[in-house]
DNA sequence: CATCTTGTTACGTT
DNA sequence: AAACGTAACAAGAT
């Protein structure tokens, strides 16, 4: 589930543990979320250390401790949460950090998530090597266009899901952006006009900002009018064309929803009914 | 029982 | 060498 704003929300759930010591830890051994990590070392280092800070980059999380760094990727079903100090982990609770006043929990039933670990003095290499978040300001329209030019044959939907270029964008955000930009998800990245690229850029920023404001703040849904509310439904309809059933198809292996009226297969740049009033931004 | 899933990654092909 | 397409990963929901 977690994309940009969901990941930011989960990052904040552990804020209550900032400045507090880890008294002990519990992990589920033999789980693939720890692949490549020395579990013993992880537990030794975390025990007695203090949670100092946290940061997010795309869908990746980094927690700074006084003795080490803990990286978390939530995968498809990962979550962070907080429970009482006496918490007893269940089958999907892979890492528990016990503090005097609470326990911090990482759980992930589907095991696509991943834990990373480092004892380096400064930010670990695997963190600094990650591309900046798509909404960070380091990503410019020029960078976006250069990235798309390197993947000219990919559908724009598939390209938006590449974390090397759009760190943080996930399946629903990509659909939301393309619907608002009125670009058909199957369009080849290399076929997009400057106007279409401009619309994608604008809506990319708008959707990121809106997601952070609503979901990132308290995990509340985005406002009415977002494709978000319709795209999961089997009988979802376009928010601006209530009579138009959303198209649904797999593109690049992911379920994609779009409105055939807003997002026709070929661009029709001449006529865009309702373009000015129907959508924010 | 069959099919679906809001994410990567490995691997073979172009 | 890159870019590209697809299977695989695992487990719960429908």
Q: A252 beta carbon < 7 A from strand B?
A: no
What pLDDT is recorded for position A266?
A: 78
Residues A18-44 have a mean pLDDT of: 95
Neighbours of A63 (CB within 10 A): 22
Residues A109-122 have a mean pLDDT of: 95
What size, in residues, is chain A?
A: 281
Q: Which of residues 131-150 of A touch strand C (CB under 7 A)?
A: 150
Phi, psi of A191 (to 5 degrees): -100, 0
* Distance, CA of A31 to C1' of C8, in Å: 17
Q: A76 beta carbon < 7 A from strand C?
A: yes
Give the pLDDT confidence of A175-225 residue by residue, as tens digits: 999 999 999 999 999 999 999 999 999 999 999 999 999 989 888 889 999
Q: How many whole angstroms from its chain centre is CA A181?
A: 20
Please, are residues A49 and A66 in contact by the beta-carbon 8 Å criterion? yes
The partner residues of A244 in beta bridges, in order of sequence, read none
Closest CA to the C1' of C11: that residue is: A110
Q: A172 beta carbon < 7 A from strand B?
A: yes
What pLDDT is recorded for position A53?
A: 98
> Residue A29's pLDDT band (boundaries 50, 70, 90)?
confident
User: In the predicted model, is pLDDT for residue A252 greater than 80?
Assistant: yes
Closest CA to A104 of A121, A81, A127: A81
Tokens of A44: 């030794």
What pLDDT is recorded for position A11?
A: 96
* Separation of first and last alpha carbons in chain A: 26
Give the pLDDT confidence of A58-91 residue by residue, as tens digits: 999 999 999 999 999 999 999 999 999 999 999 9
Maximum pairwise Cα distance, chain A: 65
- Residues A19, A24, A26, CA angle at the centre, nearest 5°? 120
What pLDDT is recorded for position A1?
A: 62
Please, are residues A93 and A106 in contact by the beta-carbon 8 Å criterion? yes
A6 closest-nt by C1' vs CA: B6
Residues A96-120 have a mean pLDDT of: 97
* Residue A229 vs residue A268, higher pLDDT: A229
What pLDDT is recorded for position A168?
A: 96
Helix, strand, coil percentages in chain A from 3-state DSSP, rounded to 5: 30, 25, 45
User: In the predicted model, is pLDDT for residue A130 greater than 80?
Assistant: yes
Closest CA to A60 of A117, A139, A133: A133
**What is the reported pTM?**
0.93
Question: Distance (Å, rounded) from C-alpha A148 to C-alpha A181?
Answer: 16
Give start and end residues of each alpha helix (H) in A169-193: 171-181
> Residue A278's pLDDT band (boundaries 50, 70, 90)?
very low
Question: Distance (Å, rounded) from C-alpha A233 to C-alpha A158?
Answer: 21
Please, are residues A228 and A177 in contact by the beta-carbon 8 Å criterion? no
Residues A131-138 have a mean pLDDT of: 95
- Helix (H, G, I), strand (E, B), or coil: what is residue A54? strand
Closest CA to the C1' of B4: that residue is: A255
Give start and end residues of each alpha helix (H) in chain A: 4-13, 39-46, 125-128, 141-149, 156-160, 171-181, 194-218, 275-278
Q: What is the DSSP letter of A155?
A: B
What pLDDT is recorded for position A69?
A: 98
- The mean pLDDT value of chain A amounts to 93
Segment among A8-22, A126-140, A181-195, A254-268 with least mean pLDDT:
A254-268
Q: What percentage of chain A reaches a pLDDT higher than 90?
A: 88
């Amino acid at each position: 589930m977690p994309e940009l704003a969901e990941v930011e929300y989960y990052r904040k759930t552990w804020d209550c543990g900032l400045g507090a010591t880890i008294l002990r830890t519990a992990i589920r051994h033999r789980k693939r979320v720890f692949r490549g990590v020395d579990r013993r070392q992880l537990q030794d280092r975390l025990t007695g250390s203090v949670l100092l800070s946290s940061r997010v980059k795309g869908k990746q999380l980094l927690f700074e401790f006084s003795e080490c760094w803990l990286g978390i990727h939530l995968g498809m079903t990962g979550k962070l949460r907080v429970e009482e100090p006496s918490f007893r982990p269940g089958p999907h609770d892979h890492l528990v950090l016990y503090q005097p006043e609470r326990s911090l929990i990482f759980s992930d039933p589907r095991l696509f998530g991943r834990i990373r670990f480092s004892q380096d003095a400064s930010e670990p290499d695997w963190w600094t090597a990650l591309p900046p978040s798509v909404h960070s300001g380091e990503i410019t329209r020029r960078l976006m266009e250069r990235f798309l030019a390197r993947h000219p044959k990919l559908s724009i939907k598939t390209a938006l899901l590449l974390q090397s270029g759009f760190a943080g964008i996930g399946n629903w955000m990509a659909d939301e952006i393309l619907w608002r930009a009125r670009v058909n998800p199957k369009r080849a990245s290399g076929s997009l006009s400057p106007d279409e690229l401009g619309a994608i850029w604008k809506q990319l920023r708008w959707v990121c900002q809106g997601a952070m404001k609503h979901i990132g703040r308290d995990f509340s849904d985005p406002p009415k009018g977002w494709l978000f509310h319709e795209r999961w439904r089997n009988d979802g309809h376009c928010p601006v064309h209530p009579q138009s059933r959303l198209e649904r198809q797999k593109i690049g292996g992911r379920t994609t929803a779009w409105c055939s009226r807003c997002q026709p297969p070929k661009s029709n740049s001449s006529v865009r009914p309702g373009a000015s009033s129907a959508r924010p931004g």
